Homo-oligomer: A and B are copies of this chain.
Amino acid sequence: MTVATLKTTPERLLARDRRALARLITWAENAHPRFPGALREIYGHVGRARRLGVTGPPGVGKSTLCNGLVSCLRERGSEVGVLAVDPSSPFTGGALLGDRIRMESHTKDPGVFVRSMASRDSHGGLARAAVDACDVMDAFGFDELILETVGVGQAEYDIVSAADTVIVVLCPGAGDSVQAMKAGLLEVADVLVVNKNDAPGADRLVSDLEDAVALRRESRDGWTTPVVRSSAGRGLGLEDVLAAVEQQRTFLGSAGLAARRRKMRVAQVQRTVGELLVQALWSDGCRVEFIKTALASGRPPYDVADEMRDQIL
């Protein structure tokens, strides 16, 4: 049976048709009504790919590092899917320049697929869209998925939490790196990378990070986050980063990985139920009228919201 004779998009995806891959990710991005049905058809093929989350402040060289990691993974024979998520939409260059400029060196490699996603395209549910897109790439058959994201608001946290391994990239000289540590990025890091390792202040940043890791009250899953140096622009340290990722994978084991993924799926369903309920809620025009009338009488918004909640539950 050739690809041309297959009827549905999910069937074509499982037959490794790239156009079906692109279309299903677009469905995920747009919250297309056909996406849940499509996911049902491919869900049995989801779960084989390893998911690597890469995050950190702008300007630390995340994209260069990801580009280098893709090269290393390709040398090992892995096929790699990359999802670059830019929640700060629509202004920063990342997702706008997008697939064209990003990962230029890999554009002709059929073993690499790169896709950008910005929050303006995701209908308010960037974490939902990112996880769905990963499921699609996973079912397509990539061995490794890289999820690159900037920042650590709630949406970004939901996104990196969906990865099996989270790499947090920092670099010396950026005050942002210190802020990132304070802002809770350390808590989600399985591997800390100090990129631009040849810049002044790298040793200090490495030792600060090592201190911070040592002082951390609870390590995630009992794993001690290593601090790895790289200089991705010069192609240095990439293998060390991957070695640290491998060590974390070994430490986690199949039981630890399964536990982490179960947690991720529960969070995904909770988010989805929340979205569905809110949708159902306001499709009833009477509820909106009730709010308008209550507000018109001068009642404070939280009092109106409380009463409405009590009415519903």
Contact = CB atoms under 8 A, between A and B. Distances in A.
B151 A88 contact: yes
B269 A274 contact: no
Contact of A91 (B35, B58, B270): B58
Nearest to A91: B57
B301 A179 contact: no
Contact of A278 (B175, B179, B274, B280): B274
Contacts of A96: 175-176, 179
A184 interface: yes
B308 A90 contact: no
Contacts of A155: 153
Interface in A268-294: 268-270, 272-274, 276-278, 280-282, 288, 291-292
A152 to B, nearest CB: 6
Q: Please name the 4 residue pairs, one residue from A and one from B, whose CB atoms are nearest each other, closest first.
A: A90-B183, A36-B302, A272-B305, A57-B91
A309 B276 contact: yes
A123 to B, nearest CB: 9
A179 B295 CA distance: 37
A27 B15 CA distance: 55
A176 B86 CA distance: 14
Given A91-B176, A270-B288, A277-B312, 14 more contacts: A57-B91, A89-B152, A90-B151, A90-B176, A90-B182, A93-B175, A93-B176, A96-B179, A120-B152, A262-B292, A269-B301, A274-B277, A274-B281, A276-B305
Number of copies: 2
19 contacts: A36-B300, A40-B303, A43-B298, A88-B88, A89-B151, A90-B180, A90-B183, A91-B151, A91-B180, A120-B152, A120-B183, A153-B155, A265-B295, A269-B291, A270-B282, A270-B288, A270-B291, A276-B309, A277-B277
